[in-house]
Amino acid sequence: MALKFTLLVLPLLAHIVNGQGPATFDIGKYGGKPNANIDQALSSAWKEACAATTPSTVVVPKGTFLLNQLTLAGPCKAPIELQVQGTIRAPSDYTLLPDKNAEWITINYVDHLTISGGGVFDGQGKEAWAKNDCGKNPKCVKLPLNLSFNFITNSIVRDVTSQDSKNFHVNVIGCKNVTFQQFTVSAPADSINTDGIHVAKSEGISVLDTVIKTGDDCISIGDGMKELHIERVSCGPGHGISVGSLGKGATEEDVAGIYVKNCTFTDTQNGIRVKTWPSAPAKLQITDLHYEDIIMNNVENPIIIDQEYCPWNQCKLDSPSLIKISKMTVNNIKGTAANPVAVSLVCSKAAPCENVEVGDVDLAYSGNQGPISTKCSNVKPTFVGKQNPPICANAAQSS
């Protein structure tokens, strides 16, 4: 990770040493004023900075600024930084966005991008959450997410906050070598479909030293994701760190190389989770999953594989998932479960899980719904160290 960060900043340091410090493009110079709309000012500042042949910094200074909707696009001629020191605020009424099919802030095709500054991207999502019926209505209105990163490479997002997005907070698609560090996601537990960071069809993504409080998955992992490193992340409230849901699309791509280490889950619905749809066409592989040194604080489902994922009865369970899960390790998981079934490994009858290794697990349940237990099907894990409670303890569970 240190090497990756060094590679990102070397071009910038070279210009500073040569007396060519980053040129600054403050939105104030382009008419951007506090408590006023900055669509045009930010767009103009970005356009000039992106055209610069030396590293440049676009600055949104301290204060509160209004932004309807914006796409910032590259490629740029040199490394570029978006330094948000203040708060950028979206309209609370999503119907006011000029393009109903676009996200709030979209950044496309940029190499060596830095987003920093300690500021806040405020999506003002409360009004939209009340109208979100996508779980039950396939024709629901599309709500914009806060930050959409598409085809971004060799970049870092650090020391900024995404707050109260109307939909996902961050979407990462087609990106490579991107790090989120000391990033914050903030939304209440009852905010609907507000995944913290969603990553898919990308490679070499890292999420480090990050706090995510939201109403859905803290981090959701879609198809085509390869080499995702998640370390020192605090999740809660939220629905945990989830691979999936996967399986609905026939053209979905394999997922490989997911590493989750030194993370803490507090009052979440799930801890570490893999979820796939039954009665679905995809036959992809989910492989090389590693979870280590994790603390669970009052988590409903600390460890869960759910290959019968079917919310709101949107599918039939009579046709099992065709997705294969393999090469999964779980080690040093400690804490408390809010559900007596602390570990649930429900794999597919059509494609049983293979090469699942469970190391030290120590989970306690203090509720009154019965003794702590585990549930397993279509999986035969190997064990290293001690497991409390005993996992897949009998042959019937491991059938």
Catalytic residues: 239
Return the half-sphere exposure (C-beta side, CA atoms, 13 A cut-off) of residue 35: 0
> Which positions ≥6 away from 379 have C-beta within 8 Å?
305, 345, 347, 352, 353, 356, 392, 398
Say if residues 277 and 321 touch (Cβ distance below 8 Å).
yes
Q: How far apart are CA 32 and CA 341, in angstroms?
A: 54
Say if residues 265 and 294 touch (Cβ distance below 8 Å).
yes
Q: 155 is written with which tokens?
A: 């970049």
Q: How far apart are CA 346 and CA 310, in angstroms?
A: 13
Q: How far apart are CA 162 and CA 214, in angstroms?
A: 10
For the chain, the C-alpha Rg in angstroms (whole number) is 22
Amino acid at 131: K
Q: How far apart are CA 260 and CA 263, in angstroms?
A: 7
Q: How far apart are CA 231 and CA 395, in angstroms?
A: 35
Q: How far apart are CA 31 and CA 40, in angstroms?
A: 8
Q: How far apart are CA 232 and CA 241, in angstroms?
A: 13
String of DSSP letters for 148-217? EEES-EEEEEES-EEES-SS-SEEEES-EEEEEES-EEE--TT-TT--SEEEES-EEEEEEEEEEE-SS-
User: What are the b/e assignments for 92-116, b being 16+ CB within 10 Å?
Assistant: eebeebeeeeebbbbbbebbbbbbb
Length of the chain: 399
Q: Tell me the β-bridge partners of 59.
A: 26, 83
